[in-house]
Chain A
Amino acid sequence: MRKRFKSLFGLVLAVLCLTMVLTGCDGQGGANNKEEKVKVGFVYIGSAEDKGYTYAHDQGRLYLQEKLGDKVEILYQENVSDADNSSVAVMQSLIDQGCTIIFANSYGYMDYMHDIAQDYPDVTFLHCSGSKSADNMLNYFGRIYQPRYLSGIVAGMKTETNKIGYVAAYPIPEVVRGINAFTLGVRSVNPDATVEVVWTSTWYDPATEKQAAIALLDNNCDVIAQHQDTTGPQQAAESRGKWSIGYNCDTSEVAAKSYMTAPVWNWGPYYAEQVQKVIDGTWKPENYWGGMEDGIVALAPLTANAPEGAQEKVDEMTAKIMSGEFKVFQGPIKDQSGNIRVPEGTELTDEEMLSIDWFVEGVVGTISSD
């Protein structure tokens, strides 16, 4: 018995020695590299190859690398859950590896990042899609609801059954806002059409998303839109010979027979600008919510699947949105029970949009909450 403990003790000792040796090496190596380059860390909710939300962010990362070249070194970690505290360990690890700027791209990271920002006052934190900020943390997002409205126009002109399906992740304001904008777009060209919502409770799960789309197709929907990170819903629509609206990036190659267009992200310029500001020492925790006029969001080119006349209508509204002549959430807007929620002559403020918890008329579905 004693002998075994001796060997156990020896092993632990050996491991500890090894640790010290490695720690020594790391300290030296780190110091040499750190002097010139700024290390930037990205925390991704999905896979960089998802051809969806994370892919769009990863394109932004590549743009940042290309734009700033030798000035930055970028690390990223994929598939970090935002439904628990996994992101804490990942962010700590990235900071430990020398990152002084952290981008995290999913809503659920918000509270964890807000906590950790207090522990590392010298690190700059940028959180995508949330609402919290601090002296060294801002939140950023784009007005994706604008191109969503435009994609609604395309869907509304295309549908023959007047039933459009919408596969959605969580009933949080970001998603609700998107569904509302889309529905307003649909009904601006087709007042009889309705938008049926199915919740998946996941951002990223190809199988679940596909299944939800199939349920909608079975329910006689002939256009499928989505607030999901994969192309699952578009593939489901294709398999039934129906139509789809993508999200995040142009996926015309993935679902060539169903895909019509998609509201898309263009993160690159914003990422390059923010990192440059940190390098220059001019960075401020200013929350950002840019629209189509900034180029951070756009509607992808319409494909041949899109209905006739859609291009003209989209072009017209695009110009009006860009010039500020038209606001997506301008009155009169009714809610699901037919009550006027936004009277004529007024529009929703940013705060109201950021906390929106009701559906506009034409949406079939509920925001389940207690």
Chain B
Amino acid sequence: MQIVNRSGTSTKQIILIRFIAILAAIVVSSIFIGFLGYNPFTVYQNMLKGSLGSTIRFRATLLEMIPLVVTSLGILIAFKMKFWNIGGEGQILMGAFAASFVALRIDGIPDFLMLPLIFLAGFLMGGLWALIPAYFKARFGANETIMTLMLNYIALQFITYLQFGPWRDPKAMGFPKIANFPDSALLPKLFGIHIGLIISILLVVVVTWFMRNTKKGFEIAVVGESFATARYAGMNVSQVILFAMLLSGGLCGITGVIQTSGVNKTLTMNISSGYGFSAIITTWLSGLKAPMVLLVSFLFAILLQGGSYIQSALQIPQSAADVLQGMILFCILGSEFFVRYKIRFRKKEHPNNGGVSP
């Protein structure tokens, strides 16, 4: 058996593979649901009903989608450069930290300046957190996967320290909770959803434009293809890496701002909620195309919200709902492998290796 690169997979083949993947996901999870003693159709119907079936549920789905979209855009820029940024969680947390610092610890900020300032602070702090591995990669060729991953834990412990220690709200009577943001630092709402939705859609447009139409965006793609080509073309590779990671981490930082200011109303150590990792999946599934991020994140949000809904609606245990989500994702991610590679079975070694088959 041999795994070979598929060169020039046709659109037809890709659609077929994806279709089979979705079918496989449905079949496999149906068997699982059946074993649990539920009717698979009821479960799927409830997942859709739970994520799209009413205004409140649809809003809940969009609230799941927003952080996925913004984080995915950040991850996308890094991945385009083949810089494996696994540090979205940490960058979200540090962005949230900077936003909270501005909102809670600095006095005398006029109301109209508050929101712009917390966004700026969140963007810069997330970006700075990502610049650390970027610098080591550009300067010493250090492995960015490990570094970004480890920086997640440092950020998490730092926020935990703040929440249980110096930033604990004395009014919370011993419960480890950071004080809520003042009203001026909360995202306003439109149609019942905080304006993070609009911000996320705007960011999709901006990132699409940036990657397609700017010199910097082009440079990032070239560095991703090959360092040597980029150098040959006269690009400053180190500078491109640093700049791209500032954007990548900055976007993740903005997720942190949106989640603190729009959703939680304060900083908690759970603020990143695994979006930094989920976004790796959505980015990958989007094929590193910014407009597709919106669609994939929406579908992913349906999976999350639907999975949460079936727990209360059908009393399916949380762990089972998680397994279900995992199985569906596994099938769909697995299909990406077949889009890129094919497996060739060799029955016999022909004497004239590589020659024309009879």
Assess the A26–B174 pair: CB atoms within 8 A.
no
Assess the B53–A19 pair: CB atoms within 8 A.
yes
Assess the A89–B63 pair: CB atoms within 8 A.
yes
Residue of B nearest to A131 (CB): B173
Assess the A93–B56 pair: CB atoms within 8 A.
yes
Chain B residues touching A, majority SS: helix
Give the A-B pair count, Cβ closer than 8 A. Answer: 104
Given contacts A170-B175, A367-B174, contact A8 B291 (CB under 8 A): yes
Assess the A108–B170 pair: CB atoms within 8 A.
no
A81 to B177, CA, bound (A): 13
Assess the A84–B312 pair: CB atoms within 8 A.
no
Contacts of B175 in A (CB 8 A): 107-108, 170, 172
Contacts of B45 in A (CB 8 A): 22
Residue of A nearest to B167 (CB): A370
Chain A residues touching B, majority SS: helix
Residue of A nearest to B177 (CB): A108
A170 to B176, CA, bound (A): 8
Assess the B54–A96 pair: CB atoms within 8 A.
yes
Assess the B52–A89 pair: CB atoms within 8 A.
no
A94 to B313, CA, bound (A): 8
Residue of B nearest to A107 (CB): B175
Q: By the criterion of a CB under 8 Å from any partner CB, how many residues of chain A are at the interface?
A: 46
Given contacts A23-B52, A84-B264, contact A357 B312 (CB under 8 A): no
Assess the A26–B264 pair: CB atoms within 8 A.
no
Given contacts A85-B263, A96-B56, A357-B174, contact A370 B168 (CB under 8 A): yes
Assess the B174–A369 pair: CB atoms within 8 A.
yes
A15 to B170, CA, bound (A): 47
A273 to B268, CA, bound (A): 36
Assess the A15–B52 pair: CB atoms within 8 A.
yes
Assess the B317–A78 pair: CB atoms within 8 A.
yes
Assess the A81–B312 pair: CB atoms within 8 A.
no
Given contacts A19-B53, A77-B311, A92-B56, contact A84 B268 (CB under 8 A): yes
Contacts of B63 in A (CB 8 A): 89
Assess the B166–A370 pair: CB atoms within 8 A.
yes
Interface string of B133-175 (1 = CB under 8 A from A): 0000000000000000000000000000000111010100111
Please tell me if B9 contacts chain A, counting CB pairs below 8 Å: no
Enumerate chain B interface residues (CB-CB to A < 8 A). Answer: 45, 48-50, 52-54, 56-58, 60, 63, 164-166, 168, 170, 173-177, 180, 263-265, 268-271, 273, 291-292, 295, 298, 308-309, 311-313, 315, 317-318
